[in-house]
Amino acid sequence: MAHYLSLNRADFLFVPAQEQFGISEPHAIQVMIYSTGFRSSPQIESSVEDIAFYFHAQPEITAPSSNSQVAVENIMIAHLSQACTFPKRVIIEGATYILHGERLPCELVKELVLKHGEENVKIADDKWIFEFIPKRGMKKL
C-alpha cells in the first residue's frame, strides 16, 4: 500500500539501504510539504482549490508506483548519496504543480531513535521543507 505525504504536516520518509547509490544504512528523513503561505502563517487554512490540486498531484509527488517517477523520494535518495555536494534548494516542476524545496538542519537527529525491525534507522542530519504551488490556469480537476 502506498504512503502519501500529507499537505501541511511533518512526516518521515523511510529510505532503505541502497548500495547502488552509496547509501549503506537505512535512513529516515523529515519532510514537510506546505501549501503556499502556510509556513509563514499556519493559522491560514489551505483553499479548497489548493487541496484539490495537491490531491491530484500527490501520487506523482510522494507515492511510489510502477509507472511514475516520485519527485520527493528521488530528491531524498540523491541528497543521501551526494550529501556534501547536493544543493540546499531545489525546484521540481510537474504538470500541475511546482515544488520549491529547501534543505535545513534537522533538530530531531539527537533526540529520536528509530528502528526497522531489529535494524537501526539513521535520522538524516537535514530535513526538507517544500512549498507546493499549484499551476493556476489548468483545467479544473
Q: pLDDT of 78-114, one tens digit each?
A: 888 886 688 899 998 888 888 999 999 988 767 778 8
The per-residue pLDDT for 59 is: 77
Range of the domain at 65: 10-134
Residue of 31 and 139 predicted with greater confidence: 31
The per-residue pLDDT for 44 is: 62
Q: Report yes or no on 18 lying in a domain.
A: yes
List the Cα angle 22/104/37 in 5-degree steps. 130
The per-residue pLDDT for 130 is: 92
Q: Report yes or no on 90 lying in a domain.
A: yes
Q: Report yes or no on 130 lying in a domain.
A: yes
The per-residue pLDDT for 51 is: 76
pTM here? 0.78
The grid coordinates of residue 59 equal: 501520487
Q: Report yes or no on 4 lying in a domain.
A: no
Residue of 124 and 53 predicted with greater confidence: 124
Report how many domains make up the chain.
1
Q: Report yes or no on 2 lying in a domain.
A: no
On the CB side of 11, CA atoms within 13 Å amount to 16
Q: Report yes or no on 107 lying in a domain.
A: yes
| Mean pLDDT across 34-49 | 68
Which of 81, 36, 131, 113 has the alpha carbon at shortest distance from 73? 81
The per-residue pLDDT for 91 is: 92
| Local structure of 65: helix, strand or coil | strand
* Tens digits of residue pLDDT in 68-85: 447 788 888 888 888 668
Residue of 24 and 141 predicted with greater confidence: 24
